[in-house]
Amino acid sequence: MSESSTWTVNEVVSYRLALARRRAGLTQEEAAARFSEATGRKWTKNSVGAAERAREVGRLREFNAEELVAFGRVFGVPVAFFLLPPDDTGKDQEFHLGPDGQTVTRLSLLSSVLLFRPSSLFVDDANAATRVHGLSWSPAHPSWYRPEDDFVPEEPGVEYEPPRPTPAADDAGVIDGAQRLEVLRLLDRIRRVVSPQDEPPF
């Protein structure tokens, strides 16, 4: 392990690589197969293990840009994920959701802030499109405010029927396949209106 408390870029990538693999629920062998396909060179269980333990064993392992892009594609995260310095590597910080004491871990919160888990390609495309048009975007923040809870009928004796709850999200996301296609078609039409050219902005 490196004597210094300062992490090198390669040590950060090494740590983040192991974290991404564990989050994805892949074995080192499964990750090796995906890396081989994504990078075009042979990866083995041992080479994945060595890449993940660079800081622990004190062996210099230099990662190149092509590998970072491949890692991002394999795990569906932006390249920047592998360059974020670890803050507290020993535990996952918990946040309180409300006065009832319910908590959520930071990793769970980050995974669920967006109503679906966008691929790194989606994030890259969204960033490029917003830059071109001078716009900015950020993930939504979950809110538990329900306006119907504040509703008080103006006339005594008038029964109030609260709105029906929306259907629960399915395992794949918030919308089903047919709705997803409709959303994609709508996005395509928006792209053409915003930038009527041969190639859409995103």
Spatial neighbors of 92 by CB under 8 A, at least 6 apart, are 105, 106, 107
Write out pLDDT tens, residues 40-89.
Answer: 999 999 999 999 987 777 777 888 888 988 998 899 888 888 888 776 54
Please state the φ and ψ torsions of residue 96, each to the nearest 5 degrees: -85, 135
DSSP E strand boundaries for 19-169: 94-96, 103-105
* Residue 78 contacts residue 124 (beta carbons within 8 Å): yes
Where are the domain boundaries for CATH 1.10.260.40 in the chain?
Answer: 9-83
Write out pLDDT tens, residues 145-166.
Answer: 555 555 555 666 666 565 554 4
Please give the mean pLDDT across all residues of the chain.
Answer: 68
Residue type, 162: P
Spatial neighbors of 54 by CB under 8 A, at least 6 apart, are 10, 11, 14, 60, 61
DSSP E strand boundaries for 17-158: 94-96, 103-105
pTM (global) more than 0.75: no
What is the rounded distance in angstroms from the CA atom of residue 115 to the CA atom of residue 179? 14
Token pair, residue 150, equals 């504040």
CATH top-level class of 9-83: mainly alpha
Write out pLDDT tens, residues 111-131.
Answer: 444 444 556 666 666 667 667
